[in-house]
Amino acid sequence: MTAHPRPDLSALIDGALSPARAAELRAHLAGCPDCRAEVARLQGALVTISALARAPDLPPYFQARLEARLREERERPRGLAASLGTQLARLWQPRALALVGGVAALLLAVAIPVQVYRRYVDRRAMLGELELLRDYETASAVDVDTPEDVLIVAQLDRLEREESRP
């Protein structure tokens, strides 16, 4: 035998080989110092392992729970789409759905009055400047549609009054 039979050495130590294969390996070991050193290393590891404390007993039904958990993990979908699906499923639970709906209602309850008030204030500011728009020549030359336009016309009017002062 020319190749080193390293994969079979631990099986030889454990007595897991057929008698013919075990005899073949023993013949190889007689002439190969590298494989004998490997067998000595493996036997030393076995001695060290056997000197370790005995593993504690597993709790009852541990094996069944472990197998069930592994089965769940294998069956669980993977990837981004599965993760998003899981998160959406959590959102559709009654408690989470009520929370999301409540937050949305609160945002609408605040946002709608704020928008209505802003429009009211903007229109009121524009109405306050209407008299200025009637008298101002530039106002007829441009479209004044928004409160911002009214502010620009008012600033132009103030500049004109300041320039006309001695």
Res 155: pLDDT: 75
CATH number of 1-52: 1.10.10
Cβ count within 10 A of residue 56: 6
Res 62: pLDDT: 86
pLDDT band at 1 (very low <50, low <70, confident <90, very high): very low
Question: Closest Cα to residue 6, out of 65, 31, 28, 94?
Answer: 28
* Burial 90-116, CB ≥16 within 10 A → b, else e: eeeeeeeeeeeeeeeeeeeeeeeeeee
Convert the pLDDT of each residue in 18-35 to its tens digit.
999 999 999 999 999 999
Residue 73: is its pLDDT beyond 70?
A: yes
Place of tokens 């294969």: 21
- 139, 133 in Cβ contact below 8 A? yes
Question: Closest Cα to residue 122, out of 143, 147, 103, 100?
Answer: 147
Tell me how far apart the alpha carbons of residues 87 and 142 are, in angstroms, rounded to a whole number: 54
Convert the pLDDT of each residue in 136-163 to its tens digit.
555 555 566 677 777 777 777 777 777 7
The residues spanned by each domain of the chain are: 1-52, 90-164
pLDDT band at 41 (very low <50, low <70, confident <90, very high): very high
